[in-house]
Amino acid sequence: MTGHSTLAAVDLGSNSFHLQVARIVGDQIYPLDSLREPVRIGAGLTPDKRLDEPAQLRALNALRQFGERLRGMPTEAVRAVGTNTLRVAKNAREFLVKAQAALGFPIEVVAGREEARLIYLGVAHGLPPSRERRLVVDIGGGSTECIIGSGLAPLKLESLYMGCVSYSLRHFSDGKLNKANFRQAETAAGTELQTIRKAFRYGEWQHAVGSSGTARAIGELLEFNGYTDNGITRDGLEQLKAQMIRIGSLDRLDAFALAGLRADRVPVLPGGLAIMTTAFDALEIPYMTLASGAMRQGILYDMLGRFHHHDMRDLTASQFMHRYHVDGAQAKRVGTLAHALLHELLADLDGEAASAGQLLDWAAKLHEIGISVAHSGYHKHTSYIIRNADMPGFSRSEQSRLATLTLAHRGSLDKMQGMLEAQTDIALTLALRLSAMFHRSRTDVALPAIEARLVQNQCRLKLEPNWLAENPLTAVLLRDEIAQWRKVGITLDVRPMQELEAMA
């Protein structure tokens, strides 16, 4: 069992924010409550890619409402995920500080392909078992995710920079619903889809599925207006577009002119329809059914997997070890000692060691992947790969922390100025550096008993008497390590000191 009978997912989309609360029974998730707020933060992106104040206020008001509903839930039972707008906004970091305070829980920003993976996970759990390859198309406010998968496993993941909010603003800014604007939007969408057309066209899959608000809104409009019996067809899309062109402008587009149209869908429908129509053409989609699941359900199932020890991040770390030919025995040596040191260093901070331990485990497994590029400065190559690679299961903030930790595991600490203020960050960095140092021989050597304690900016390391005298290389390395930590204002006190002083 998860240890929690209730989980919650928050999806901070570019068009709408969603909250899903669910009850956990075995391996199944049963919805308990949901909230939706059409905040359209994607519409608040200025030309220089900053989130404007009105959009921030709409978002914060929605998050305060969600926070009230989530009040009292443990942090580990709630996961909030930001998507495209928060990926591209230059002031996203400042906004997230306010957003997390409003919600009362941490917010992760995920990469496009990780968003696609979560979408597929949510969609697949809501579909009947099948061996068919499925194409999932999810048109969001700022991006469109395309996934091919079989069963619960995604096989191809792509995220394209086009969405119903961004395309409606860009191509229908004059409010006119005419052939010229639709042609312009469809041409732009075709350019985006051209990059994946060959890999995602019909024949690579057997069944197309539309997920999230845009697909459902279009499907409902087609059925309400008699253009299809259910689902989405190419002919139905053309009839819907023709009807919108007859209506002529956004200010005349409402439920009276187009049956079944919700008011909050009016500003974003033209862009969404243009993208869907182009996807049907480019990917040769004959017919599309609609999914009940979406990213928020995927977030819940991903959380459930983590609690059941099927964490996608662990699988990704293992795959990276294989891809970059990591010495598994060395990674295990470094990880074992680093964990022991971390628990001693954080002994006075209840609960910190457990949460930091997972990050340290990934760092120990991946800290040498840069050797596959070049041994010289390999920690820099490692950090670059981790910071920029698609790493399924990891949020951007997790990748950033992991990249920083692996960069810091060797060499000068000058690069860490201002980044070692929290006790946890000091402990993680020190544990990984010391472990890599003690295991420099890359063999299963007998190590001394080591006692470690961290209090604010002072760390005391106690070794067995005479051990440093018998291991002069490590003694020299420890003396240099003391100097490195002094550069960042942290005292590393190694006992017995006289052995180090004798080496000077």
Q: What is the pLDDT of residues 51-106, one digit of tens each?
A: 999 999 999 999 999 999 999 999 999 999 999 999 999 999 999 999 999 999 99
Do 20 and 65 lie in one domain? The reply is yes
Q: Among 325, 320, 359, 323, which Cα is nearest to 339's?
A: 359
Cα(111)–Cα(413) distance, integer angstroms? 29
**Domain-located, residue 178:** yes
**Res. 139 pLDDT band, cuts 50 70 90:** very high
Do 273 and 351 lie in one domain? The reply is no
**Domain-located, residue 461:** no
**Domain-located, residue 63:** yes
**Domain-located, residue 478:** no
Q: Which of 269, 304, 339 is the last residue of a domain?
A: 304
CA angle 40, 43, 48 (to 5 degrees): 140
| Amino acid symbol at 38 | P
Let me know: does 110 contact 81? Beta carbons within 8 Å: yes
Return the structure tokens found at 304.
Answer: 């459930």
Q: Residue 4: how many CB atoms within 10 A of its CB?
A: 17
- How does strand 287-290 pair with strand 207-211? parallel
Write out the E strands in 102-143: 107-109, 133-139
Contacts of 429 by beta carbon, 8 Å cutoff, 6+ apart: 405, 408, 409, 416, 420
Return the structure tokens found at 135.
Answer: 């194409």
What is the per-residue pLDDT across 391-405, written as a single tens digit (0 to 9) for each?
A: 888 888 899 999 999
Q: Residue 452: how many CB atoms within 10 A of its CB?
A: 21
pLDDT of residue 496 exceeding 80, the answer is no
If you compute the radius of gyration of the chain from its CA atoms, what whole number of angstroms results? 26
What is the per-residue pLDDT across 215-270, written as a single tens digit (0 to 9) for each?
A: 999 999 999 999 998 899 999 999 999 999 999 999 999 888 898 999 989 999 99
Q: Which of 260, 291, 322 is the last residue of a domain?
A: 291
Do 321 and 252 lie in one domain? The reply is no
In total, how many domains does the chain have? 3
Do 170 and 278 lie in one domain? The reply is yes
**Res. 352 pLDDT band, cuts 50 70 90:** low
Q: Residue 310: how many CB atoms within 10 A of its CB?
A: 11
**Domain-located, residue 172:** yes
**Domain-located, residue 475:** no
> What's the average model confidence in pLDDT over 113-137?
93
Please tell me which residue, 172 or 212, carries the higher pLDDT value. 172
Q: Which of 291, 326, 360 is the last residue of a domain?
A: 291
| Average pLDDT in the chain | 91
pLDDT above 70: percentage of residues in the chain: 96
Do 264 and 140 lie in one domain? The reply is yes
Identify the pLDDT of residue 128: 84
Number of residues that this document lists for the chain: 504
146: helix, coil or strand? strand
- How does strand 28-37 pair with strand 17-25? antiparallel
Do 72 and 164 lie in one domain? The reply is no
Q: Among 112, 280, 272, which Cα is nearest to 185's?
A: 272
Q: How far is CA 62 from the centre of its chain?
A: 21
3-state SS record for 405-453: HHHCCCCCCHHHCCCCCCHHHHHHHHHHHHHHHHCCCCCCCCCCCCEEE
**Domain-located, residue 496:** no
**Domain-located, residue 222:** yes
Cα(406)–Cα(368) distance, integer angstroms? 8
Write out the E strands in 118-187: 133-139, 144-150, 153-160
pLDDT of residue 206 exceeding 50, the answer is yes
Do 147 and 202 lie in one domain? The reply is yes
Contacts of 180 by beta carbon, 8 Å cutoff, 6+ apart: none
Do 72 and 167 lie in one domain? The reply is no
Do 57 and 136 lie in one domain? The reply is no
> What's the average model confidence in pLDDT over 329-344?
94
Domain housing 233: 127-291
**Res. 2 pLDDT band, cuts 50 70 90:** very low
Do 439 and 335 lie in one domain? The reply is yes
Do 131 and 68 lie in one domain? The reply is no
pLDDT of residue 3 exceeding 70, the answer is no
Sheet of 6-12, strands arranged across: 28-37, 17-25, 6-12, 78-82, 107-109
Cα(322)–Cα(324) distance, integer angstroms? 6
Return the structure tokens found at 325.
Answer: 């030919």
Identify the pLDDT of residue 353: 63
Let me know: does 6 contact 21? Beta carbons within 8 Å: yes
The domain that contains 436 carries what CATH number? Answer: 1.10.3210.10
The domain that contains 36 carries what CATH number? Answer: 3.30.420.40
Do 279 and 139 lie in one domain? The reply is yes
DSSP 51: B
